[in-house]
Amino acid sequence: MKILVADLEGVFLPEIWINVAKKTGIEELKLTTRDISDYDVLMTRRLSILKENNLKIQDIKNVIASLEPLEGALDILNWIREESQIIVLSDTFEEFAKPLMVKLNYPTLLCHDLTIDKQGNITGYNIRINHQKKEAVNALKGLNYHVIAFGDSYNDIGMIQEANQGFFFNPPDSVVTDFPEIPVTRNYRELKTMISALLNA
């Protein structure tokens, strides 16, 4: 049996932190795992910026409420779910993703969560498990699934390499340069073609 796993932001949703950066005017919040491969370094800096600028969870939720899935994302996700099973593996947080899941017809999502104090300050983040994307793929393989994985960024490398078959979806040039051996799709048409070929192989 075959199963798909995929990243969320940059694949089906716009990057949440980039949109927070646009709304607040804080340029450094535009940095994502496309720019900084060490997730702990990235998140520690993000939380520091939020504290410095007195930004609370509601400020971020207000931005998230204005977001929509990438154009064509719901159609391709619905198509995938008709053809196979898919689990979305993301390094986002439940508090961020939950309002957007309704817009994607509630796919199965495995991610992390935040620590928030009574004043609404984000005081910490809680990783569900280290290398959760890679470990999820490994667990699915242990259940005798043939895993097909795709994502767009450095934090997707582990799951793509661990999967039976994996590829990029619309990655930045830096990621392609660093991992030239991994196949690339650039849009949902190419994604559909790739998935069809792998499911029918």
Active site residues: 7, 9
Q: What is the DSSP string of 153-191?
A: SGGGHHHHHHSSEEEEES--HHHHHH-TTS-EE-SHHHH
Residue 72's region, left for phi above 0, alpha for psi from -120 to 50, else beta, is: left
d(CA 8, CA 3): 16
d(CA 120, CA 1): 44
First to last CA, the chain: 12
SS3 186: coil
